[in-house]
Structure 1
Amino acid sequence: MKITLVAGARPNFMKIAPIINAINAAKDVGKPIEFRLVHTGQHYDKKMSGSFFEELGIPEPHANLEAGGGTQAEQTANIMVRFEQELLKNPTDVVLVVGDVTSTMACSITAKKLQVAVVHVEAGIRSWDLSMPEEINRMVTDSITDHFFTTSEIANENLRKNGVEEERIHFVGNTMIDTLLANMDRLVDPELAIAGEPLMPKSYFVLTLHRPANVDEEQKLKDLMAAIMEGTQGQPVVFPVHPRTAKTLQQLGIRYEQLHYVEPLSYLRFNYLVKNAKAVITDSGGITEETTVMGVPCLTIRDNTERPETITMGTNELVGTNPENIGPYLEKLQKGEWKKGGDIPLWDGKTAPRIVGKLLELYS
């Protein structure tokens, strides 16, 4: 079986790395499987792309489509044109896409129009918020996918409600957690210092914001930052700044003595920071999964989430985007009253071997 693996943006790399390892392990014991890794180039900044390949031991891609930049439509079109050429030159039995970035949707459409089977890893998750480009990517991809590899029973049920037959739904777990658990002993101290003093474990907060609803409206961003600073009570807040957000912050001149902007961190350094934080404040979906597994309190500055299991079973709380909501949650945290969370089924570090086993069963 020939399988083409697609990686396009930072979240994809953590999800694809354990699948590559599992394919190589299957090949080593004589299983009939080989892969071709295609990097669409959707993210092309070194910190957003290259360092992840190095840190996670991902081999050099067989092809880089270099389709980054442009509007959503331009990027989608560029990826589709170049991925079609890739598939015509290098025929495959299966295209495997992960997550919910533009590359996921674009490569799925291209493959299906060439009559190539598509499997979607992390299928079925939903925020039901069509203002999010990722939600559109998820819905379109899942509408044409052949087999669905899911992270939770909630995702399974979403697919069933869309009429997907049970035999095409495969509850396997979360490959991003495979990567996290495999690298927990390799995390690297970023050696950040505040006023010349090293950060002490559980004495600081990690903040990430990048969604347009939070960072594009100036007064909203100012109010959010003010509420966060008040609720963190003078404790250090470390903010690895997404390039999009950095521009806005610079224009607004948002500065607090306790707030420390740092450049985007590599995977191993960022997760070291998260693991040792008192709490994480974020509008990211993937980070809420990692904090749940690491047992770190997490406040999600969004009005919805596609990962509700991190709330019902994990350490995450959906705070909302109203700045007035932040104070009560941080007060609860400061009082030591945050929920502990627990284990989520099949988030055990063994998802990728389950995926490869099922692929061999389906397509060999």
Structure 2
Amino acid sequence: MKILTVVGNRPQFVKSAPLSEALRAAGIDEVVVHTGQHWDDELSQVFFEELGLPEPTYRLDLRTADVEALTSPIREVVAAARPDLVLVLGDTNSTLAGARAAAEAGVPVAHVEAGLRSGDLSMPEERARIEVDRLATLLFCPDERSAETLALEGVAGRALVVGDVMADATLRFAPIARERVPPPHPPGTYVVATVHREANVRPERLRRIVEGLSRVDDAVVFPAHPRTASVLREEGIEIGPNLELREPLGYLAFASAASQARVIATDSGGLQKEAYWYRVPCVTTRPSTEWVDTVELGANVLVDDDPDSLVAAVRAASFPAEAPPLYGDGHAAERIARSLRRL
């Protein structure tokens, strides 16, 4: 069996590490195509080096997040590779382009991290999730809630609850990261912040989020996504002395910093989960989240872009002592590989 895996940005590189290993162990031939949606070395190549990912068979180097611009080249790769199935991960533009390209070529689609919904259709990620799930033949869900969502929507593909492959990667690499890379400050004394979503890098929202981060009592380690850094510069947005603006960190350095922070403040879906697995409280600068359980259990607080709410949430943040395991046990990739072998 030959599978074409489409990756294009940070979360997908992390998720694909345990998945590629499980596919190899199951005797499945995997062909990887890297779209180049993220092309900065610290957001792309470093993951292949640090996580030991196989070098992509196809590097498209498209340097764009435009779905239309991504779809046609991926379709050409599908035609050349002739896979039995195209596997896409998450909810990015590369995910959507990969699913569309496969569907146009008449090749079945498998979606890893299927069934997630935030309920906010203004988010391009939410629209991508819905469309990809409707195109997919196999839908690998992180939890029962996601599978129930697909059933309620009447999605035609087959849904399987397997857990979250990001949990596989986090549980494996976090101890290695802490061993190899010292934290930026003593553990538990600082905040790690990330801002990268399209809505949040609009100047007015970014200015409000940065205002809140600048008023936090702790040191705030802020590895800035390239487009976030660009808006900060172009708009002259001032940052407080506690806010440590940094270049993007390598995966292990970031995992070390985030897993030893007092609080994580983010708009990243993946980092909300990682915070939960690290048992670090999370403050999310979005009005909604697809990871609803983290909020319901008190491990995550939604503050949107309100500076006062952000400051108060960071100050009060604590991880619930009785928080149960969420989104799998670290063996999702193995379950996915076994399911594919049974086809």
For normalisation by structure 1, the TM-score amounts to: 0.88
Residue 224 of structure 1: CA displacement? 2.9
Q: Is the 8 A contact 2:19 2:333 kept in 1?
A: yes
Distance 2:231 2:35 in 1: 28
How many Å separate the matches in 2 of 1:56 and 1:321? Answer: 33
User: What's 2:194 paired with?
Assistant: 208
Q: Post-superposition shift, 1:101? A: 0.9
Residues 153 and 26 from structure 1, CA distance in 2 versus in 1: closer, same or farther, beyond 3 angstroms?
same
- Alpha-carbon distance between aligned partners in 2 of 1:339 and 1:186, rounded to the nearest angstrom: 25
**CA deviation after TM superposition for structure 1 residue 93, in Å:** 0.7
| 1:338 Cα deviation from its structure 2 partner | 4.8
Letter matched to residue 323 of structure 1 = P
Which sections of structure 1, spanning at least 5 residues, go unmatched?
28-32, 194-198
Q: CA deviation at 1:311?
A: 1.8
2:84 matches 1:100: no
CA distance in 2, matches of 1:7, 1:214: 23
Q: Please, which of 214, 217, 230 is the counterpart of residue 203 of structure 2?
A: 217
TM alignment of 1:300-311, pairs within 5 A: 300-311=284-295
- Per-residue CA deviation, residues 183-242 of structure 1 (Å, 9 max, x unaligned), is 12210565576xxxxx11101111111234333133x43333333333x32x21110011
Aligned length: 341
Counterpart residue identity of residue 51, structure 1: V
Aligned to 2:25: 25
1:162 has 2:153 as partner: yes
Q: What is the DSSP-based 3-state SS (H/G/I as helix, E as strand, rest coil) of the residue aligned with 2:26?
A: helix
3-state secondary structure, aligned to 1:245? helix
**Residue type of the alignment partner of 1:35:** E
Give the alignment partner of residue 117 of structure 2, picking from 102, 106, 126: 126
Structure label with greater radius of gyration:
1
Segment of structure 1 superposing worse, 41-50 or 339-348: 339-348
SS in 2 for 1:66: coil
Check the 8 A contact 2:279/2:319 in 1, yes or no: no
Partner letter of residue 185 of structure 1? P
Q: Which of 327, 347, 364 matches 2:311?
A: 327
CA contact (8 A) 1:309 1:344 kept: no
SS in 1 for 2:335: helix
Secondary structure of the residue that 2:62 maps to in structure 1? coil
Q: After the TM superposition, which residues 348-363 of structure 1 pair with which residues of structure 2 at under 5 Å, given as runs? A: 348-361=329-342, 363=343
**Aligned AA (2:127):** I
Work out the CA distance in 1 between the residues paired with 2:176 and 2:276.
19
After TM superposition, give the deviation of residue 341 of structure 1 in Å: 5.6
- Offset, 1:288: 0.5
1:269 corresponds in structure 2 to 253
- Corresponding position: 1:317 with 2:301: yes
Deviation at 1:40, TM superposition (A): 1.4
Match of 2:271 among 265, 283, 287: 287
Amino acid corresponding to residue 226 of structure 1 in structure 2:
E
Aligned partners of 2:134 and 2:155 also within 8 Å = no
Q: Distance in 2 between matches of 1:260 and 1:304?
A: 27
In the alignment, the residues of structure 2 paired with residue 81 and residue 354 of structure 1 have an alpha-carbon distance, to the nearest angstrom, of 31
Distance, in Å, in 2 between the alignment partners of 1:66 and 1:341 is 45
Q: Which amino acid aligns with 2:336?
A: I
Q: Cα deviation per residue 1:279-318 (whole Å; 9 max; x = unaligned)?
A: 0111111101001011001100110001112222462122
Is the CA contact (8 Å cut-off) linking 2:214 and 2:239 kept in structure 1?
no
The aligned amino acid for 2:333 is A
What letter matches 1:8 in structure 2? Answer: G
SS at 1:207 equivalent: strand
Q: 1:224 to 1:2 in 2, by over 3 A?
A: closer
Match of 1:151 among 109, 132, 142: 142
Which residue number corresponds to residue 5 of structure 2? 5
Distance 1:101 1:285 in 2: 11
Q: Report if aligned partners of 1:293, 1:343 keep a CA contact under 8 Å in 2.
A: no
**RMSD of aligned Cα (Å):** 1.9
Given candidates 46, 49, 56, the residue that maps to 1:54 is 49
- 1:90-113 per-position Cα deviation (integer Å, ceiling 9, x unaligned): 211111111111111111111112
